[in-house]
Structure 1
Amino acid sequence: MRRIRKSRLFFFLAFIVLAAVIYTFVRQQVVTVEGASDLDVVEELYTLIEEQSVYDLDSGTIVEGALRGMASAIKDPYSSYYSKEEAAIQKASLAGEKVGIGVEIAEKNGKFIVISPVKSSPAEKAGIRPYDEIVQINDVRLDGKTIGEVIKLMQGKAGEEVTLVLYRPSIERHIKVAVERAKMENDTVDAKVVTVENVPIGYVTISLFAENTLEQWLQEVSKLIEQDVQALIVDVRDNPGGYLHSVAGIISTIGEEGKVFAYMQDGKGKLEPLKTVKLDEIEGLKKEIRKLPIVILQNEGSASASEVFSAAMQSWGKGTLVGGKSFGKGTVQETWDLANGGSVKLSTNKWLTPKETWINGKGIKPDVEVDQHPLYMIEFIPVRGSFEVGDFSEEVAYAQKVLHAFGFQIVRQDGYFDETTREAVVAFREKYDLHDGDKLDELFFEKMQEQVALYKSKAENDLQLQMAVSYVMHKLGH
């Protein structure tokens, strides 16, 4: 009996000891896991990939992937990581001179969306429009690409051609556009005098709020003041934005010192007012500018900093907005240089109007809404080939759209070459003396594009501009 009792006691004690050892080990493991920082885990994975992966990857590639992954995890189309090469391209986009096609894009849910083509850029001339989705550049599909890689694909030497495949939501189809890269001076402000009934009106176009835009604004507006203009029309249509300090400077030439033109709101909801500043060196010019009625032209391509400008003018009652609803980008980004030569751009704040309204995804409604004539909105698309009754193609659909905008009787605009399309083609060819024929051919397309360009080149066909002029004349009592 004693042996049995001793045996039982031995096993009981052994069980207690074993349980204590297991408990201590498990607790150590829990403490180790709970005590490990997130960065320790990143380093752990980095080491495992380097030592165990069957794929031969250098450390730079692994780090680049981690940096991109962290930026993309934010799920913000305006937050991005840029490699050293991509960062240089990005900085050049707002510098004094650049080579490219002139388009501002953002990534949204893996799609690359055009915010706006820069005014008078190759992209605008090629017919690229806000909300176009870029799906292919030359022969490269963009699935899985980063925004930096997309920007790099669009870069190249001046004079070289790049072909983009775009999906255009407004017509629910893909189109192919050839754009020639060009060297573009960042002359972001252009001004001239428009005389109506002997009344001189200053017409100022701001294509981008770049580093030197305030300086150019002061130069151009000074020239207009010297010519005794009675009002200003400021055109920020298709202006994709730019530097906040640049637009703040321009607003400061219009508003009184210390006036709130926007609010910054951080992630915790704290509001910080942004106020106009005193510009001593141009006090005389500011007084002259503030005497003038101001009309702002905007459209769906007016985004970010241009919306800050429009919102301030509208909220203050300093300017009347004419045109269409703006893009709706209500966040502000800051860029930091990284140790590897790259950079990261992050959305750090929301910006709100002086009335504390967040316009993100909503845009700013104009005071006077004006739709352009369909022909004025026709995009330029390279079209080639020969088509006749019974054919079906994108080229036919484009021709149908243009013919309809010109006022020809067209029943279909879906790309099917029917009898009414043939009749319209015959009428167009007769009107412009293109010899006998009822086909869409190279001669037809060349004349069609020529007439579209001619129509769009005439200021009287810009209905939004004409409304702005009419409004100014009304304000001046004419």
Structure 2
Amino acid sequence: MKPFKNKQKQEITMPLYKLLIILFVTVLLTSVVTFASYKFGLNFGNDKQKSLNKIEEAYEQIDEDYYKDIDDDKLTQGAIDGMIKSLDDPYSEYISAKETTSYNEEISGDFVGIGAEMEVHKGFVRITSPMKGSPAEKAGIQPLDIVTKVDHKSIKNKSLNEIVEKVRGKKGTTVTLTIKREGKEPFDVDIKRDKIHVTSVDYTKKKDTGVIAISKFQNKTTKELKSALKQAKKDNVKHIVLDLRNNPGGLLDEVVTSVNLFVDKGKPVIYLETKGDKPQAVETENKKMSGIDDMDYSVLVNKGSASAAEIFAGALQDYKIADVLGTTTFGKGIGQVHKEFNDSSILKYTNMRWLTPNKSYIHKKGIKPDKKISAPKYEEIEIIDPSKTYQKGDNSKEIKSIKIGLKALGYNISNENGKFDNELESNVKAFQNDHKLESNGIFTDDTTKKFIELLRKKIRSEDKQLDEAIQYIHK
């Protein structure tokens, strides 16, 4: 569901050692030349050296003469951030050493913790679901449990990020959660932290159709996808919907091996084009999965499908393995690489653009579906911030979203404009009465949270876009 998910990084990434040999040679030669210029005082008379000298001179001047003490790490990060900002590229960034761990966890899908999904609820956090086989599940944590304390310290009104940071820690260490469960007195649960892998592939069977949802392309996605396809064959499923909606991308290596399950050895998955070079094919390296042709495939996408998800959809579309259903994808046809420094900080920058097997460039265009199937409007409304207040007389795009959402929840909304009018005020009061909230007609705080909660439940239980895709398949 797009409106209520935190935006994730829309990127394809690959390790530097996996780049084209020609790029490696270029970098190596550049390094040798740079070393020689510094070591032996060689001067090639170019503007680059002058620029480097200027940066160094500015750094030293500030470090030595600024009226307050300078944090060298902060000054260095500021200089790099400034260079990144000048690129005007939302996908290039500097990741500090402190942020590296969480960034790597996001890419790999692995982290150390207790293995429970949580959400903010009335000033505390509520367990939405303990992961199967996780330390949390083994310790007896249940859905709807309210966590009021972590290690005997109250977490009231703390942000979710702050709470998650307290719950996570080193493998083998113990965290104590104080749990409030309906019908019971608050009690403590000791949970030993362990390495958790968040799966990126989910398989369900809907009548005679298998639905394989891929949330992102991370480590082990191909292995998980292969396992899901095997299960579908065991279930005698004849048609598979590969659901890539709101998949923001991920690792290039992983999406290439995932495509390789469907496409035989030696076929281009994409073409990479780096500065000054002709497009070079990234080809499949193995035979396709045995028995893969026994089933038919469709790929379901939306505007939240980006980067590696577009590579996957584009390849299966170009090779006519699958029809693409849904709405036009995000349109991210560029990729990034990582440069890791000695202190574990990372410079991520765009160094390539990519093309589909048919050499289509989709950047800022997206992949157009073979059959357009739109989601209900309430699935794509603007995010409503619970800390903001909306009331009679206001006018904004968020108010339009409130109207669309309330209408979807069964309230009598006759127009979907951005005006907070008498009708909306009346419906907000009715909504508040129905859910035992203060009935003042003002949309904020607990009213907003309940609104979001109910829409989430509706979307999870009524996936109309998927249902329409399945109907189309069986026409």
TM band (smaller chain)? 0.5 to 0.7
Is the contact made by 2:378 and 2:401 (CA closer than 8 Å) also made in structure 1? no
Q: What is the total number of aligned residue pairs between the two structures?
A: 361
Backbone CA RMSD of aligned residues:
4.0
Match of 2:102 in 1: 89
2:473 pairs with 1:472? yes
Is the contact made by 2:215 and 2:244 (CA closer than 8 Å) also made in structure 1? yes
Match of 2:91 in 1: 78
Relative to 1, partners in 2 of residues 1:407 and 1:184: Cα closer, same or farther, differing over 3 Å? farther
Match of 2:418 among 411, 414, 421: 414
Q: How far does residue 427 in structure 1 lie from its aligned partner after superposition? A: 7.9
Is the contact made by 2:384 and 2:448 (CA closer than 8 Å) also made in structure 1? no
What secondary structure does 1:42 align onto?
Answer: helix
Relative to 1, partners in 2 of residues 1:160 and 1:457: Cα closer, same or farther, differing over 3 Å? farther
Q: How far does residue 451 in structure 1 lie from its aligned partner after superposition? A: 5.2
Match of 1:158 among 150, 164, 173: 164
Match of 1:304 in 2: 307
Structure 1 distance, partners of 2:66, 2:390, is 56
Range moving further from structure 2, 241-250 or 395-404: 395-404
Is the contact made by 2:376 and 2:465 (CA closer than 8 Å) also made in structure 1? no
Match of 1:287 among 263, 285, 290: 290
Identity of aligned residues (%): 25
Relative to 1, partners in 2 of residues 1:122 and 1:446: Cα closer, same or farther, differing over 3 Å? closer
Please list, as runs of the form range in 1=range in 2, the aligned pairs for 1:61-460 lying within 5 A after superposition: 61-98=74-111, 155-158=161-164, 185-195=197-207, 200-279=208-287, 286-377=289-380, 381=384, 392=394, 399-405=402-408, 406=410, 408-411=412-415, 413-418=417-422, 420-421=423-424, 452-458=455-461
Is the contact made by 2:381 and 2:401 (CA closer than 8 Å) also made in structure 1? no
What secondary structure does 1:470 align onto?
Answer: helix
Range moving further from structure 2, 227-236 or 397-406: 397-406
Is the contact made by 1:400 and 1:415 (CA closer than 8 Å) also made in structure 2? no
Q: How far does residue 275 in structure 1 lie from its aligned partner after superposition? A: 1.2
Relative to 1, partners in 2 of residues 1:396 and 1:384: Cα closer, same or farther, differing over 3 Å? farther
Match of 2:6 in 1: none
Relative to 1, partners in 2 of residues 1:344 and 1:382: Cα closer, same or farther, differing over 3 Å? closer
Structure 1 distance, partners of 2:378, 2:53, is 60
Q: How far does residue 48 in structure 1 lie from its aligned partner after superposition? A: 2.4
- Cα deviation code 1:389-446 (max 9, x no counterpart): x56588976543333344724246434231x34665688799x7989x9957899878
Relative to 1, partners in 2 of residues 1:409 and 1:160: Cα closer, same or farther, differing over 3 Å? farther
Q: How far does residue 457 in structure 1 lie from its aligned partner after superposition? A: 2.9
Q: Which amino acid aligns with 2:70?
A: L
Relative to 1, partners in 2 of residues 1:32 and 1:447: Cα closer, same or farther, differing over 3 Å? closer
What secondary structure does 2:474 align onto?
Answer: helix
Higher relative contact order (CA 8 A, sep 6+): 2
Relative to 1, partners in 2 of residues 1:121 and 1:265: Cα closer, same or farther, differing over 3 Å? farther
- Cα deviation code 1:90-112 (max 9, x no counterpart): 11212333489xxxxxxxxxxxx
- Larger of the two Rg values belongs to structure: 1
Q: Which amino acid aligns with 1:52?
A: D
Structure 1 distance, partners of 2:57, 2:435, is 75
Relative to 1, partners in 2 of residues 1:462 and 1:33: Cα closer, same or farther, differing over 3 Å? closer
Q: How far does residue 345 in structure 1 lie from its aligned partner after superposition? A: 0.8
Structure 2 distance, partners of 1:300, 1:39, is 41
Q: How far does residue 73 in structure 1 lie from its aligned partner after superposition? A: 2.8
Q: Which amino acid aligns with 2:372?
A: E
Structure 2 distance, partners of 1:33, 1:232, is 57
Q: How far does residue 380 in structure 1 lie from its aligned partner after superposition? A: 7.2
Q: Which amino acid aligns with 2:252?
A: L
Q: How far does residue 217 in structure 1 lie from its aligned partner after superposition? A: 1.2
Q: Which amino acid aligns with 1:339?
A: N
Q: How far does residue 233 in structure 1 lie from its aligned partner after superposition? A: 0.5
TM-score where L is the length of structure 1: 0.65
Match of 1:45 among 58, 65, 75: 58
Relative to 1, partners in 2 of residues 1:255 and 1:427: Cα closer, same or farther, differing over 3 Å? same
Structure 2 distance, partners of 1:255, 1:426, is 56
Relative to 1, partners in 2 of residues 1:93 and 1:452: Cα closer, same or farther, differing over 3 Å? closer
Q: Which amino acid aligns with 1:42?
A: I
